[in-house]
Amino acid sequence: MLDKTGITKRIAKEVKNGYYVNLGIGIPTLVANFVREDIDVEFQSENGILGMGPFPFDGEEDADLINAGKQTITALEGASYFDSATSFSMIRGKHVDLTILGAMEVSENGDIANWKIPGYMVKGMGGAMDLVASAENIIVAMMHTNKKGESKLLKRCSLPLTGVGCVKKIVTNLAVLEVTKDGFKLLERAPGIAVETIQQATEGHLIIEGQIPEMEL
C-alpha cells in the first residue's frame, strides 16, 4: 500500500514535457517535488501566477507572492502574474493541460465530490468547480477508502457534487484507475497489492482486463 509520498510519486509520472499544470491543495501540491528534472513544466496557481517556484528561503518571504493555499512561494524565471479572470480563462479555456486535485468521493461515471459535507462547516469550493468543469485532463489523488474503511470509489457520489462526469484518472494508495463509460478500469496495482484487495475496496463497477501490472514508482 502506498503512502501519500507514493501516490505523489506515481502522479508525478503523469506530468509530461510542455505541460502547464494546476495543483490542488494537499497531496497534489507535493507533486511538484517529484517531477522529472529533464522536462519543462510550468505550474499555475489560480490566484494568479504561472511559473510558480518552491517556497522562499527563510527571510526572503514576500507578502505579495503566495499560492492558492495562501503559502508564501517564489517565482521562477519566465514566470508571469495575472488577475483572477485571466487565471480562470487559462483554466476554463483549456489552456492548462493537467489538473491534479484531491477528492472525498468519485463515482464510476466520473462525478467528483470534494467540497462539502452536509452538517459540517462548509468552507467553500474555491476554484475546484471551475477546474473540474473545464479541464480536459483531471487526475484525482486520494486514498482508496475513507477513515471508516468505506470505499471512496462509488457507483454514485453521496456527497454534494463538485462536478459531473469530469474525472479521467484516479491514483490511490492501492491502484491507478481510468474512468471509462463502463466504470473504473483498473490499470495498475500498488506494489504488493492483490487485485482482490482493490476489488473489495471499490464499491463502483471495477473493470479488470487481463494481468494488471504493478506501478512503477
Binding stretches for other proteins (CB under 8 A): 45-49, 54-73, 75, 81-85, 87-88, 91-92, 111, 121-130, 133-134, 160-165
**Active-site residue, selected from the candidate residues 46, 105, 188, 203:** 46
Name which of 63 and 210 has its Cβ closer to other proteins.
Answer: 63
Name which of 76 and 187 has its Cβ closer to other proteins.
Answer: 76
Q: How far apart are CA 3 and CA 16, in angstroms?
A: 23
Measured from the Cβ of residue 181, the count of other Cβ atoms closer than 10 Å reads 8
Q: How far apart are CA 214 and CA 217, in angstroms?
A: 9
Q: How far is the CB of 54 from other proteins (least distance, A)?
A: 6
Grid cell 514576500 in the structure block, residue: 62
Name which of 26 and 160 has its Cβ closer to other proteins.
Answer: 160
In this structure, what are the phi and psi dihedrals at residue 176, rounded to the nearest 5 degrees? -110, 130
Residue 46 known to be catalytic: yes
Which value, in Å, is the radius of gyration of the alpha carbons in the chain? 17
Active site residues: 46
